[in-house]
Amino acid sequence: MYHNMLNLLSILMLISAFSLIANKRQNSYISTFRFQSALLAGISLLVSVRAMIVTKAFDEVLIMFMLIVVFKVVVIPRYMKSTAERVEYKVEKDFFINIPMSMIICCGLVVLSWYVIYNIDGITDLDTKNYLIYSFSVVLLGLFFMISRKKAIGQIIGFLVIENGMFLAAMLTTEGMPMIVELGLFFDLLTAFIIMGIFVFKINSTFESIDINKLKNLKG
Amino acid sequence: MNSAFLAIPAIIAGLVWTNKNKTVIHFTNLAGAAALLITSVLALAEVGRSKNIVTRGFFKDIFYIDSLSAYILFITALAFFLVSMYSISYFGEELRKKVITLSKLKLYYSLSNAFVFSMVLALTTQNMGVMWIAIEATTLASAFLVGFYNNKSSIEAAWKYLIICSVGIAFALLGIILLYYSSTIGLGSNKLLGLSWNYLLENASALDSSILKISFIFILIGFGTKVGFSPMHTWLPDAHSQAPSPVSSLLSGVLLNTAMYGIIRVMSIVNKSLHSSKYTGNLLLLLGLLSIGTAAVFVLVQQDYKRILAYSSIEHMGIIAIGLGICTPVSIFAALYHTFNHAMTKSMLFISTGNVYLKYHTKKISGVKGLVKTMPVTGIAFLLGSFAITGMPPFGVFMSEFNTVAAALFSRNYLTAALLLIFLAAVFGGFVKQMGKMFYGSNNMTELQTGELDKTGPFVLIILLCITIMLGVYIPEPIKALMDNATNIILGIGGK
Amino acid sequence: MIESILKLIIQIMITLLIAPLFTGVIRKMKAKVQHRVGASVFQPYFDLTKLFKKDLVVSGTASWIYNLAPYVYFITALAAMCCLPVVYGLTGFSFYTDLLVVVYLFVGGRIFMALAALDTGSTFGGMGSSREMLVSALVEPALFIVIITISARTEIASTNIADIYKYMAVNTGTAFTPMNILLFASTLLILIAETSRIPVDDPATHLELTMVHEAMILEYSGRHLAFIELGTYIKQLVFMTIMANILIPAGFDNSNFILGFGIYLLKLLVITVLVGLVELNTVKFRLYSIPNFAVIALVISILGFFTGFILR
Specify the higher pLDDT residue, B228 or C303: B228
Give the pLDDT confidence score for residue B495 in this predicted structure. 44
Tell me if B136 and A136 make a contact (CB, 8 A cut-off): no
Tell me what pLDDT residue C253 has.
65
Residues 201 through 220 of chain B touching chain A, CB cutoff 8 Å: 208-211, 213-214
> Cβ–Cβ contacts within 10 Å for residue C309, how many?
12
| Closest Cα in chain A, distance from residue B105 (Å) | 19
Q: Say yes or no: B167 contacts chain A, CB-CB below 8 A.
A: yes
Q: Do A4 and C178 touch (CB under 8 A)?
A: no
Q: What is the pTM of this model?
A: 0.86
pLDDT, tens only, B319-329: 999 999 998 99
pLDDT value for B354: 92
Select the residue from B167, B193, B308 to test the A interface by mutation, using most A Cβ atoms within 10 A: B167
- The pLDDT, as a whole number, for residue B256 is 94
Asked if A130 and C296 come within 8 Å (Cβ–Cβ), the reply is no
Is B226's pLDDT higher than 80? yes
Please tell me the distance from the alpha carbon of residue B286 to that of residue B322, in angstroms, as a whole number. Answer: 8
Q: Which residues of A touch B167 (CB under 8 A)?
A: 143, 146, 159, 162
A133 contact partners, CB below 8 Å, separation of at least 6: A110, A113, A114, A117, A118
Q: Is residue B453 part of a domain?
A: yes
Tell me the three-class secondary structure of chain A, residue by residue: CHHHHHHHHHHHHHHHHHHHHHCCCHHHHHHHHHHHHHHHHHHHHHHHHHHHHHHCCCCCHHHHHHHHHHHHHHHHHHHHHHHHHHCCCCCCCCECCCHHHHHHHHHHHHHHHHHHHHCCCCCCCHHHHHHHHHHHHHHHHHHHHHHHECEHHHHHHHHHHHHHHHHHHHHHHHCCCCHHHHHHHHHHHHHHHHHHHHHHHHHHHHHCCCEHHHCCCCCC
Region of residue B327 (left: phi > 0; alpha: psi -120 to 50; beta: else): left
Print pLDDT tens along chain A (220 aa): 788 788 888 888 998 999 898 887 788 889 999 999 999 999 999 999 988 898 888 888 888 899 999 999 999 999 888 888 887 665 556 677 888 888 889 989 988 998 888 888 888 888 888 899 999 999 999 999 998 888 888 889 999 999 999 999 988 888 778 888 888 888 988 999 999 989 988 888 888 777 777 777 777 6
Contacts of C299 in chain A (CB under 8 A): 18, 103-104, 106-107
Contacts of A64 in chain B (CB under 8 A): none
Query: Rounded to a whole number, what is the distance in Å from the CA of A194 to chain B's nearest CA?
Result: 10
Which amino acid is located at B450 in the chain? Answer: T
Output the pLDDT for position B452. Answer: 80
pLDDT digits (tens, 9 = 90+) for C92-141: 565 567 888 888 899 999 999 999 988 888 888 888 898 889 999 999 99
State the chains in contact with C (3 or more Cβ–Cβ pairs under 8 Å). A
B186 within domain boundaries: yes
Q: Count other C-beta atoms under 10 Å from residue B345's C-beta.
A: 29
Q: How far is CA B431 from CA B241, B298, C135, in A?
A: 16, 11, 62
| Chain A nearest-CA residue for C292 | A100
Domain of residue B174: give its range: 2-491
8 Å CB contact of C299 and A129: no
Find the closest chain B residue to A113 by CA distance: B214
**Closest chain B CA to residue A184:** B133
Low-confidence winner among B345-349, B377-381, C214-218 (lowest mean pLDDT): C214-218
* CB proximity C178 to A under 8 Å: yes
* pLDDT tens digits for range B132-165: 999 999 999 999 999 999 888 999 999 999 999 9
Mean pLDDT for chain C overall? 85
Compute CA distances C90 → B358, B361, B394, C162, C251, whole Å: 88, 87, 92, 11, 15
Instruction: Look at C300 and A18 and tell me if their CB atoms are within 8 Å.
Output: yes
Chain A residues whose beta carbon lies within 8 Å of the beta carbon of residue C291: 100
Q: Is the dihedral of CA A58, A61, A67, A73 positive or negative?
A: negative
Q: Confirm if B288 and B228 have CB atoms less than 8 A apart.
A: no
Mean pLDDT over C232-256 rounds to 83
The pLDDT tens digits for B303-321 are: 899 999 999 999 999 999 9
Residue B163: what residue type? I
Q: Say whether C306 and A15 touch across the interface (CB within 8 A).
A: no
In a mutational test of the C interface, the residue from A2, A12, A15 whose CB has the highest number of chain C CBs within 10 Å is A15
- A contact set with C (CB within 8 A): 4-5, 7-8, 11-12, 14-15, 18-19, 22, 99-100, 103-104, 106-107, 110-111, 114, 118, 126, 129-130
Contact C186, C300 (CB under 8 A): yes
| The pLDDT of residue A2 | 83
Q: Which chains touch A (3 or more CB pairs under 8 A)?
A: B, C
pLDDT in tens, B439-467: 887 766 666 777 788 888 899 999 999 99
Nearest CB to B153 within list A180, A182, A217? A217
Dihedral pair phi/psi, residue A95, rounded to 5°: -130, 155
Residue at A9 is within a domain? yes
Closest to C292 (Cβ–Cβ): which among A4, A14, A100?
A100
Q: List the single best residue of A11, A117, A125, A135 to mutate versus C (max C Cβ within 10 A).
A: A11
CB-based contacts of B264, cutoff 8 Å, min separation 6: B68, B324, B490
In degrees and rounded to multiples of 5, residue B125 shows phi and psi of -90, 155
Choose among A155, A203, A218: nearest Cβ to B238.
A218
Is the model's pLDDT at B280 over the cut of 60? yes
Which residue ranges make up each domain of chain C? 2-310
Across the interface, whether the CB atoms of A139 and B170 are under 8 A apart is answered yes
Q: Which of A99, A118, A130 lies closest to C292 in CB terms?
A: A99
CA distance B366 to B360: 11
Give pLDDT tens digits for C42-87.
999 999 999 999 998 888 888 899 999 999 999 999 999 888 888 7
Q: Do B133 and A185 touch (CB under 8 A)?
A: yes
Neighbouring CB atoms inside 10 A of C140's CB total 17
Residues of chain C with C-beta less than 8 angstroms from the C-beta of A130: 178, 307, 311
Question: Rounded distance, CA C10 to CA C247, Å?
Answer: 23
Looking at residue C96, its pLDDT comes to: 66
The DSSP H or E segment spanning B54 is: strand B52-54
CA distance B148 to B150: 6
Residue environment code for C196-219, b if the CB has 16+ CB neighbours within 10 A, otherwise e: bbbbbbbbeeeeeebbbbbbbbbb
C291, C299, C307: residue with CB nearest A18: C299
Dist CA A14 CA C146 (whole Å): 18
Gap between the Cα atoms of B201 and B289, Å rounded: 28
Q: Do B133 and A202 touch (CB under 8 A)?
A: no
Nearest chain B alpha carbon to A182: B129
Residue B496 lies inside a defined structural domain of this protein: no
Residue A181 to residue B157, Cβ atoms within 8 A: no
Is residue A65 domain-resident?
yes
Contact residues on chain B for A218, CB-CB shorter than 8 A: 153, 156-157, 160, 237-238, 241-242
pLDDT recorded at residue B494: 52
* Domain count of the fold of chain A: 1
Domain assignment present for residue A219? The answer is: no
Residues B351-362: pLDDT tens digits? 999 999 998 888
Candidates C292, C301, C309: best to mutate against A (most CBs of A within 10 A) is: C292
Touch of B by C (3+ CB pairs closer than 8 Å): no
Residues found in chain A: 220
Task: Tell me if B115 sits within 8 A of B250, measured CB to CB.
Answer: yes
CA atoms within 13 A on the CB side of B145: 25
Number of domain units in chain B: 1
Residue C170 has pLDDT above 80, yes or no: no
